[in-house]
Structure 1
Amino acid sequence: MEAATPPPGPLVVAISSRALFDLEESHRLFEREGIEAYQAYQREREDEVLAPGIAFPLVRKLLALNAAAPVGEGGVPRVEVILLSRNSSDTGLRIFNSIQHHGLDISRATFTSGAPTWPYVRPFGADLFLSANPESVRRALEHGIAAATILPAKAPAHRHNQLRIAFDGDAVIFGDESERVSREQGVEAFGRHERERAREPLSGGPFRGFLDALHRLQEAFPPGEDSPIRTALVTARSAPAHERVIRTLREWGVRLDEALFLGGRPKGPFLETFGADIFFDDSDENIASARSHVAAGHVPHGVANS
């Protein structure tokens, strides 16, 4: 008799305090005057609630999914958010006070007193790591963890209740082999390369595992317009290079609700139309286009970041 397949665990997202809250004033103080001034500043204001940061709406929507779907086996939530901070537990008191004030169901956290936070991502079993620290993100990616750099900013305006996540394809969901052909041999060679391999699945990129986990979470809800999660592929590819992408996702058994093949058009306006809560891309140029419209996470992976 075959053993029963264990139920999938929760989708786990690890996030830095600077991505979750607007800490830029105190961060500038730290850079200008040092750690002691920073510590005194946070202690004096530990009862002052921090304003939401760039990734706050994303986190709120993720945690809201626990109320919208039945919990997993044994009462395990569908989504868990972990806070990782370079603050000390002492100066981190203001952060936890702010978490409680905003009603965020975050109970697990690590405060490292200035040490890197990325080594704790894997022990927590995180599917995704969002941080304002580019070096932490790079190290996490090197260790096989889906990670992106979030440029700190105030939270964007609320637009809708549905969680909407958009991904670039090559070097994010997929490996960067095809992108290397494009950069090293040109667009015509890229098109020929993809036509010849249209039925050969692309390799998985650093965000394949997160995409799988997100897809499993989506399956806990009824499909269609009423689903609380909507996903999109937003890629510079165009026909005929689209076929390999479609066949790869079919081979993986992963659903993306929308697919935008833009043929090199700027991505920002399309992401705004989609209403992305966050967009992941490996290209600095695409991130710059996206950031003027939506929250964007830079994935420093692949040939574009060599």
Structure 2
Amino acid sequence: MTALKAVNAELRNDYSENEELFKVILIDDSSSSDFLMNQIREHGLDRLITLLPVTEDQLVSELKRNNTHLYLSDEPNRLKVQEALNEGVAAAIMFTPKTDMPVFEDQLRVAFDGDAVLFSNEFQGVGLKAFLKNEKQNVEKPMKKGPFKGFLEVLIKLQKKLHNRGLYKKCPIHTYLVTSRGAGCDGYRALNTLRTWGLELDEAVFVGGANKGPTLQRIKPHIFFDDQQRHVDASLEVGTVACLVPYQTKNK
């Protein structure tokens, strides 16, 4: 939350309260709303967090009504997360490590996997040899969008507003691509796709199928999104909050 407050503080320096800011909606379907609201005020987060009492059957419709760009759930049941994804809302199941890795308080760092997260899931069940052959044949062809393209667009839109103020090296938003793709045709296609979309991340790391843990330990993101449990587990092992993006069953 500290990094989100830092981003909002920079945005408020030159932009009015009506401009885009990070806004957190805490969804609560219990009777503890008063207690939670008091805790939010006590920690000075009432300008950042809004409490929204919502029943389970209202959840997805409320997410859409509030123009939600990202929905995170710590419940192991993925049905509502999947339903949100199917309705075009970036959504994931959030896992918290037992020991937190130290993170930057004045810069929000967000890391994304590529396939089935930023890009489409066109390689589900395809072997490595077939995958590499396809990438070589389609190296200049942009991939289709994945469920988190819209969320990345929002991050980069805010980032560009900060860049317009001259905040480049000290920009409070930093984005990363951490993908199992290699540095050959498969990696080039990922970068070319982002370039075609007009979305350039601050750093791209191609681990070539290796463990993503050491990379995440180096860049220290506040949050990491991946579609494979093994990469989520590797993230948790180094103390990074990791979010599992379930396979999308419906494309809109």
CA distance in 1, matches of 2:11, 2:205: 29
Give the ranges of 4+ consecutive aligned residues of structure 1 lying more than 4 Å apart after TM superposition: 71-74, 113-116, 152-155
> TM-score when scaled to structure 1?
0.73
C-alpha separation in 1, matches of 2:23 and 2:242: 21
Task: Give the aligned residue type for 2:27.
Answer: L
- 1:21 matched residue in structure 2: none
2:44 is paired with a residue of what secondary structure? Answer: coil
Amino acid at match of 2:208: G
How far apart are residue 191 of structure 1 and its match? 0.5
1:61-88 per-residue CA deviation (whole Å, 9 max, x = no partner) reads: 2233121124646633522111112223
**1:221 alignment partner, SS class:** helix
| C-alpha spacing 1:152/1:243, structure 2 compared with 1 (3 Å) | closer
Unmatched segments (≥5 aa) in structure 1: 1-58
Q: Please give the per-residue CA displacement for 1:29-50, whole angstroms capped at 9, x wherever unaligned.
A: xxxxxxxxxxxxxxxxxxxxxx
Q: Which residue of 1 aligns with 2:33?
A: 92
Describe the SS at the equivalent of 1:140: helix
Map 1:1-306 → 2, pairs under 5 A:
59-70=1-12, 72=15, 75-88=18-31, 91-104=32-45, 105-106=47-48, 108-112=50-54, 117-133=59-75, 134-152=78-96, 156=100, 158-161=102-105, 162-177=107-122, 179-180=123-124, 183-184=125-126, 186-222=127-163, 223-238=167-182, 239-293=184-238, 294-302=240-248
Cα distance, 1:114–1:143 mapped onto 2, change above 3 Å: closer
CA distance in 1, matches of 2:112, 2:29: 28
Q: Is the partner of 2:170 in helix, strand or coil?
A: coil
Residues 141-168 of structure 1 show CA distances to partners (whole Å, capped at 9, x for unaligned) of: 1111001111256783543221100000
Matched residues in 2 for 1:74 and 1:100: separation?
19
Greater C-alpha Rg: 1
C-alpha distance in 2, partners of 1:237/1:155? 28
Q: CA deviation at 1:254?
A: 0.6
Distance in 2 of aligned mates of 1:153 and 1:97 = 26
RMSD, aligned α-carbons:
2.1
Cα shift at 1:126: 0.9
Structure-2 change in CA distance of 1:278 and 1:107 (3 Å) = closer
Aligned partners of 1:174 and 1:206 also within 8 Å:
yes
Secondary structure at 2:89 match in 1 = coil
Higher relative contact order (CA 8 A, sep 6+): 2
Q: How many residues align?
A: 239
Gapped runs of 5+ residues in structure 2? none
C-alpha distance in 1 between matches for 2:248 and 2:83: 14
Structure 1 SS opposite 2:188: helix
**Residues 149 and 224 (structure 1), Cα distance of their counterparts in 2 relative to 1, 3 Å cut:** same
Q: Which amino acid aligns with 1:297?
A: C
Letter in 2 for 1:301: Y
Q: Match of 1:266, SS? A: coil
- What amino acid is aligned across from residue 195 of structure 1 in structure 2? K
TM-score, normalised via structure 2 length? 0.87
The 8 Å contact of residues 132 and 149 in structure 1, kept in 2 or not, is answered as: yes
How far apart, in 1, do the equivalents of 2:74 and 2:186 lie?
33
Q: Secondary structure at the match of 1:108?
A: strand
Q: Deviations over 1:95-150 (max 9, x none)?
A: 11111111112453221356563331111111111111232211111111001111
Question: Conserved in 2, the CA contact under 8 Å of 1:85 and 1:117?
Answer: no
